[in-house]
Amino acid sequence: MADKKVALITGANKGIGKEIARQLGVQGFTVLIGARDAGRGAEAVADLTKDGIEAQAIQLEVTDQASIEAAVVKVEADYGKLDVLVNNAGVYFESGAASETDIETFKKTYDTNVFGVFAMIRAFLPLVKKAEVGRIVNMSSGLGSITQNSDPNWAFAAAKPVAYNSSKSAVNAITVIFAAELKNTPIKVNAADPGYVATDLNGNSGYRTVEQGATAAVRLATLPADGPTGGYFDEDGAIPW
Ligand SMILES: NC(=O)c1ccc[n+]([C@@H]2O[C@H](COP(=O)([O-])OP(=O)(O)OC[C@H]3O[C@@H](n4cnc5c(N)ncnc54)[C@H](OP(=O)(O)O)[C@@H]3O)[C@@H](O)[C@H]2O)c1
């Protein structure tokens, strides 16, 4: 067990997170299915286990520090390390223009998408440091790219939910800053853009599958020692900040 690589994915009971877990599980990782609802986590584990994947549910509400700390204690006790952390849990609440967005929506979005990512990295970093090669992947979005948001001809130029887009820009900044702090360690910290994927987050309006959406994150979770850190990638390579 100790020799097996362990990956924790937040928000892994469904959507892209569950598929990231599946793909890492197929590669031989023990996957810890972060789920804020224990029942939904157990269902995902049952499903993945049927496919021969070694999966375990772990209760994780990323806006709740007590939940995060309990998860750290559990991973430490069960595995003593964490090889891969995928900060995938994310929310999208908006409709309407930036000027019509209320502050509570903004705060709720940041609670999960920004503060949740920071809290998870901060809490799990000691366990990631205990792994031989640690990998941290932050699920961003192309909508977090300030360069793309500034381009009126960009394919998604009309998509300007201010809380969501800026929350993912913040995720990008957090990625660069932790990568810089960890540059003299084997740990790599990168941001992934899954593309526009059909999931509950967007009422299944995306045109990409979860299999396609998981690809970039899985690649970043399994980067070789000479791979990049502090970058922002979709499945085709680097994308502009
Ligand atoms: N779908 C897209 O087109 C797209 C594009 C770009 C980026 N992304 C990003 O990809 C990630 C996954 O999204 P998805 O499309 O797979 O959405 P999804 O199907 O709605 O899944 C989101 C997951 O995050 C969990 N979650 C939400 N808030 C949480 C919290 N506070 N604590 C713990 N878990 C929480 C959800 O749990 P519950 O089941 O309990 O709600 C669910 O497991 C998100 O970060 C999203 O922003 C998605």
Residue-wise pLDDT tens digits, 145-175 = 999 999 999 999 999 999 999 999 999 999 9
Pocket test for ligand 1, best of 36, 37, 110, 215 (most atoms within 8 A of CB): 36
Determine the 3-state secondary structure of 17 from DSSP.
helix
> What would the pLDDT profile of 26-64 be if each residue is shown by its tens digit?
999 999 999 999 999 999 999 999 999 999 999 999 999
Determine the 3-state secondary structure of 187 from DSSP.
coil
E-strand spans in 71-179? 84-87, 135-139
Whose CA is closest to atom 25 on ligand 1?
A: 11
CA of 184 to the centre of ligand 1 (A): 31
CA of 34 to the centre of ligand 1 (A): 11
Distance, first Cα to last Cα, the chain: 39
Average pLDDT over residues 113-132: 98
High-pLDDT (> 70) share of the chain, %: 99
For residue 131, give both structure tokens: 């792994």
Determine the 3-state secondary structure of 86 from DSSP.
strand
Q: What is the mean pLDDT of the chain?
A: 97
Pocket test for ligand 1, best of 8, 14, 143 (most atoms within 8 A of CB): 14
Structure confidence at residue 95 (pLDDT)? 87
Structure confidence at residue 3 (pLDDT)? 76
Go through the domains of the chain in sequence order and give each one's CATH number.
6-238 (3.40.50.720)
Strand order in the sheet with 188-192: 55-59, 30-35, 6-9, 84-87, 135-139, 188-192, 232-234, 237-238
| Cβ pair 190, 201 in contact under 8 A | no
Between the CA of residue 82 and those of 61, 129, 171, 215, 233, what are the distances in Å? 18, 8, 21, 21, 23
In whole angstroms, give the CA distance from residue 91 to residue 141: 12
In whole angstroms, give the CA distance from residue 44 to residue 57: 8
Q: Is 119 in the pocket of ligand 1 (CB under 6 A)?
A: no
Q: Is 168 annotated as catalytic?
A: yes
Given 79, 110, 164, 232, the catalytic residue: 164
In whole angstroms, give the CA distance from residue 124 to residue 199: 27
| Cβ pair 71, 58 in contact under 8 A | yes
| Cβ pair 233, 227 in contact under 8 A | no
| Cβ pair 33, 57 in contact under 8 A | yes
Determine the 3-state secondary structure of 44 from DSSP.
helix
CA angle 24, 198, 43 (to 5 degrees): 50
Angle between helices 210-221 and 15-26 (to 10 degrees): 60
Q: Is 15 in the pocket of ligand 1 (CB under 6 A)?
A: yes
Q: The whole model's pTM is what?
A: 0.98
Determine the 3-state secondary structure of 114 from DSSP.
helix
Give yes or no for residue 1 having a pLDDT over 50: no
